Structure 1
Amino acid sequence: MGNFKGHALPGCLFLLIGFWWSVKFPLKYLCRKKKHASSLGSKTGFQRIELAEGIFKAVFSLIGMTAEQFVSSGPHLKLYDYETKQWHQLMNWQHATLYLFYCISGLVDIVAHSTNVLPVALDKMMLSLAVFAEGFLLYYHIHGRSMLDFHLHQLLIVAVFGAAFCIFLEVFFRGIVVLEMLRTSLCILQGSWLWQIAFVLYPPSGSPEWNQMDHNNTMFLTVCYCWHYAFAILIMAVNYTIVSWIVRSKIKQTPTMEIGLLKTSERDQESEDEM
């Protein structure tokens, strides 16, 4: 994590997830609102999507844990060095622990959406705990840093804890599109801000280094943080508009009689809370 790629790659992952959520949640909301059934607009279709997300989360978290432990400079499962009498590569252990919680969240998603063993709401609870663990580890990860470094990561923590709280509310208010979109915006913000951190702290070759102790840089990056969030809102607005247009076009192409049958079928099989 202590280099450009170490921040840019997780940033890409958060951006990808946030972009996907900015499509999925409007699609889910509009299909439910229009009572329009399709291969993706039905309860079964969204259950498959949730299952696929759980698999994606578990697999990539497992890859992350393995990479943190077994890269050339990694701890290779060694926690304490008895020769030097010091903890060994604690930064890698922190990152591996972060990935562990996301892996657990992915496994819970798989079980909750493929069987009836666990309550469905447990998926949001575990995701909330995983995001909280990310913020908790990050909070104690940045002590002793330079002023600009500390400020950059402090702003990231705001987005992380905000997302954790938002997802926690989803446990009790499931299917509320406003909370889902708020979570999406904070996820996109995390991804884009990790890229910003990479460019500031580890500028690509040839780029000038930022003055870590200049207060003006701190002020500018605070403003820049707000711009990043505005960018996240713009992405959601564009995707919501596109999804809304597609759903309306799909409904217009469906014969009136077929729409009536689909509405009756959906009313019998599922409620809005189950979506």
Structure 2
Amino acid sequence: MGSLPGHLVPGSIFVIIGLWWMYSTWLRYFVCRQRRRPFYITTAFPCHCCGPSVAKLPMEAFFVLFGTILGILIELTAGFNRDVDFKTGHVSIYEGANNLQHFSMYLMFLLVALIEILLYYRFPLPKYLDVVAGCLAFSSEALLFYFHGHARDPVEIQIHVFLVMAVVATVVCGVFEIAQQEKKVYATLMRAYFTVLQGSWFYTIGFFLYSPFHAHYKESEDPDPHRSSMLIPYYFVLHIAATLVVLIVVAIPAYVVSKRQFQAIDFAEYGEVSMVNHDEDEEMEKLNGTTSI
């Protein structure tokens, strides 16, 4: 990941998944509200926009599976080192520590995708295990990037600390999704929000450190490090504001679709195909049918 493409790949995955979660969460919220049904949570969402046949498949899990496998292959290939001692003829083969960190991050999200697929095909796993696995994956990401900036330039440490903050916020939202007794939309929306935020911040880190438009950060001397340390929080706040605007704007097409497809989307399919266990539907039926969302 020590390159611009190495930051753009995970950043793109997080942005795409986060935007999809935003749209799907808003759509589920509006559909549940119109049908006077309680909101419910899942890690993944059915892809109704591509037709009923595609909606019956765990497309989101397949996308994450493909993206993580691609990231693993890139990291293992880029981190492969083969040193030859021409005096003794000894060959040393090892992976770079930086690449191994990124490999382990992709591995955790790959496991989340596998769990979602198992839940989809009715493997008898506990309810909300996909949410728990997602929290573990994001927690592992936060741990990795917390130590990723160790013994580096203070500015590099600072930009990675902000990334860790966004990741930790995603974990907190996931915990709230599970812990809340009466499921509400806020934690799921915020989970999507912070996922987009960390994805966009990956882009910022990549262009800050490895931009093709200026010299490599490590090869250039910062004439005013204090100014840089002041500007980085400013950029992060701009990301926070811009992501909030995106969250609100995405609600518009979701609302329009919910109105147009109010009769078209079958509610049972909408709930069950999105990897909700059958017993959750039974629990929802016990709740007040007119519970406010």
Match of residue 240 from structure 1? 251
Matching residue within 219, 230, 234 for 1:223 = 234
Question: 1:168: how far off?
Answer: 2.2
Partners in 2 of 1:175 and 1:45 — Cα distance? 28
How many residues align structurally? Answer: 256
Q: CA RMSD in A?
A: 3.6
Report matched runs for 1:28-47 at 5 Å. 28-35=28-35, 40=48
Matching residue within 183, 186, 203 for 2:191 = 183
TM-score (norm 1): 0.80
SS at structure 1 position matched to 2:194: helix
Matching residue within 98, 103, 119 for 2:126 = 119
Alpha carbons of structure 1 residues 263 and 10: separation in structure 2 relative to 1, 3 Å: closer
Partners in 1 of 2:284 and 2:192 — Cα distance? 20
Aligned partner of 1:6: which letter? G
TM-score (norm 2): 0.75
Partners in 1 of 2:30 and 2:54 — Cα distance? 13
Moved over 6 A (4+): 36-39, 44-47, 83-87, 262-266
Contact 2:72 2:103 in 1 (8 A): yes
Partners in 1 of 2:216 and 2:256 — Cα distance? 45
Alpha carbons of structure 1 residues 208 and 89: separation in structure 2 relative to 1, 3 Å: closer
Question: 1:184: how far off?
Answer: 1.0
Partners in 2 of 1:160 and 1:10 — Cα distance? 13
Residue by residue over 1:155-179, the C-alpha shift from the partner in whole angstroms, topping out at 9 and shown as x without a partner, is: 0000011111211222233853100
Contact 2:76 2:103 in 1 (8 A): yes
The worse-fitting range, judged by mean Cα deviation, of 234-243 and 113-122 is: 113-122
Unmatched runs of 5 consecutive residues or more in structure 1: 77-82
Match of residue 74 from structure 1? 80
Match of residue 87 from structure 2? none
SS at structure 2 position matched to 1:140: helix
Contact 1:149 1:212 in 2 (8 A): no
Match of residue 43 from structure 2? none
- Structure number with the bigger relative contact order (C-alpha 8 A, sep ≥ 6) is 2
Matching residue within 113, 121, 136 for 1:129 = 136
Alpha carbons of structure 1 residues 59 and 86: separation in structure 2 relative to 1, 3 Å: closer
Question: 1:97: how far off?
Answer: 0.9
Residue by residue over 1:53-110, the C-alpha shift from the partner in whole angstroms, topping out at 9 and shown as x without a partner, is: 2222222212221221123x4259xxxxxx7999741111111111111111111111
Q: How high is the sequence identity, in percent, across the aligned residues?
A: 24
Alpha carbons of structure 1 residues 186 and 35: separation in structure 2 relative to 1, 3 Å: same
Aligned partner of 1:240: which letter? A
Contact 1:47 1:113 in 2 (8 A): no
Aligned partner of 2:127: which letter? V
SS at structure 1 position matched to 2:139: helix
Question: 1:246: how far off?
Answer: 2.8
- Structure with the larger helix share: 1
Match of residue 199 from structure 1? 207
Partners in 1 of 2:10 and 2:66 — Cα distance? 14
Q: Does 1:148 align with 2:188?
A: no
Match of residue 91 from structure 1? 98
Match of residue 79 from structure 1? none
Residue by residue over 1:101-140, the C-alpha shift from the partner in whole angstroms, topping out at 9 and shown as x without a partner, is: 1111111111112214112300000010001000101111
Unmatched runs of 5 consecutive residues or more in structure 2: 38-45, 83-89, 271-277, 286-293
Contact 1:185 1:229 in 2 (8 A): no
